[in-house]
Amino acid sequence: MDNVSPLPARATQVAFTRLELDRILSLYGRMVAAGHWRDYAIDLGARTASFSAFRRAAENPEVRVVKDPALRLKQGEWILYGEGGVVLKRGQDLANVLAPIERRLVKLVEA
């Protein structure tokens, strides 16, 4: 009983805050309601956290939102990738990074 060994140090993990995840999932829900997206995936890693949205479950993501805190002071910690891995937008504010998808949603609803 006197031999207490410390637990191994746990690697840090990047994650979305509740407000960030709420904003992302709100957009996802509206895109699902518009009939554009059908599936999503969340990947939480040691360096980045990403949210991927898919048109169909068995294909590459149409959009990927990545949070990379290491880039916070450089280009901004938020990156929006398009279908081919092309960077669509970077920034410090999640709302500004999600703006291109929001505009596409407005076009989908109006059509």
pLDDT digit string (tens) for 34-74? 888 899 999 999 999 999 999 876 678 899 999 988 888 88
Taking the C-alpha atoms of 20, 23, 27 and 32 in order, what is their torsion angle to the nearest 10 degrees?
80
Provide the whole-model pTM.
0.81
Q: In the sheet that 39-44 helps form, which strands lie side by side, from edge to edge? A: 39-44, 49-54, 63-67, 78-81, 87-91
**Tokens 């410090």 sit at which residue?**
92
Structure tokens at 85: 């891995």
Please, are residues 53 and 27 in contact by the beta-carbon 8 Å criterion?
Answer: no
Radius of gyration of the chain (CA): 17
pLDDT in tens, 72-104: 888 889 999 988 889 999 999 999 999 999 888
